[in-house]
Amino acid sequence: MESFEVILKPICLVILIVLCLHAMPSSCNFTSFVFGDSLVDAGNNDYIFTLSKADSPPYGIDFTPSGGQPTGRFTNGRTIADIVGQSLGAKSFPPPYLAPNTEALAILRGINYASGASGIMDKTGFFFIGRIPLGEQVSNFEQNRIYMVNAMGENYTRKFLKKAIFSLTIGSNDVLNYIQPSIPFLRHDKVSPTTFLDFMISNLTLQLERLHEMGARKFIVVGVGPLGCIPFVRALKLLRSGQCSSAVNALIQAYNQRLKELLSRLNQEMGPETIFVFANSYDVFMDIIANYHQYGLENANDPCCGGYFPPFVCFKSSDANTSALCDDRSKYVFWDAYHPTEAANLIIAKQLVDGDESVSFPINIRKLCNYNNS
């Protein structure tokens, strides 16, 4: 019986994919392959030895599918990737790559390869010990692609991947590592900001080209947000409440400009069959911080969980009379010292899905979903 099931499963998958590829050719295909860091990690770090984990309460306290239990997401509820998928009609979330038995789900639901503490560059996040750098995430997708080809052949795999959406939300940890003071016994001379940005862009370009060679045609690449305003950096730079580090934000804006130019060049070289969308999360998040009351929020400075000072640990207090949480999570911009709340993620995701060219360029994510589906 077991051997029969092994034979039957790929056959059923092939039939299902063939039907999906031929039915409603103009409809939006929201199969999603998610790459990135803790902003979109759906639980991969739960399966590795790392100091970067979100596997204990109160993380996930507002994540309805888990009943408020931690899933490895670094926020109180859904990530931006989760919300974007739902906005496009997805009924479930892509599972983490390292979860058991995800090969078949790569075809049916997509896969989440993201890893907390990871970066564009391999060495980023090494203080956290375990993490899955972007290059390794792309290699993991390559393994899933081998399974797809074995299940339904090269031609159908390419047709399937042509309609899928590949999102990359990464680069924040590279910047955070760069701006932090060097540890004396591990000291390395820092390269200049220009050279650092060169490294980020060249490494990212390599991974985008790898994905393109494997059949990816629809890309969302999210710029780095205003890290100079997150509670961790404010504390690191000894800034007063409400202040942001202009130097950190200037570095990020320079990177985002380089990233936008890169994606425009790739669109010229690889389009129109391939399209790269630049998601301008920086301006969206800065507007939330500057005008949080207009969005129904009440606090854009403090983390809801974990406190404003080192070690910034967000945990569930064992004392019933005290709480590590704010009174109303829906009113805070920041969940912990590094990550947005679900409330902020909802605002950002809505802008990226349906916003104008100032937010998503050259088209928004909803238009990307329907792009070149025939």
Of the candidates 87, 167, 339, 360, the residue annotated as catalytic is: 339
My answer on whether omega of the bond before 70 falls inside 30° of 0, hence cis, is no
State how far the Cα of 136 lies from the Cα of 221, in Å rounded to an integer.
17
- Are 114 and 169 in contact by the 8 Å Cβ rule? The answer is yes
Which of 35, 53, 37 shows the shortest CA–CA distance to 45?
53
Tokens for 324, please give them.
Answer: 């590590």
Of the candidates 32, 38, 118, 245, the residue annotated as catalytic is: 38
Of the candidates 41, 167, 336, 360, the residue annotated as catalytic is: 336
Distances (CA, A) of 258 to 153, 201, 239, 247: 38, 7, 28, 17
Active site residue 339: yes
Active site residue 198: no
Tokens for 62, please give them.
Answer: 């507002």
Active site residue 38: yes
Which of 205, 206, 252, 207 shows the shortest CA–CA distance to 229?
252
SS3 call for 274: coil
Packing angle of the helix pair 246-270, 172-179 (nearest 10 deg): 140
For 115-133, give the DSSP string: -TT--SSTTTTGGGS----
* Angle CA 220–106–115, to nearest 5: 60
Q: Which residues are catalytic?
A: 38, 336, 339
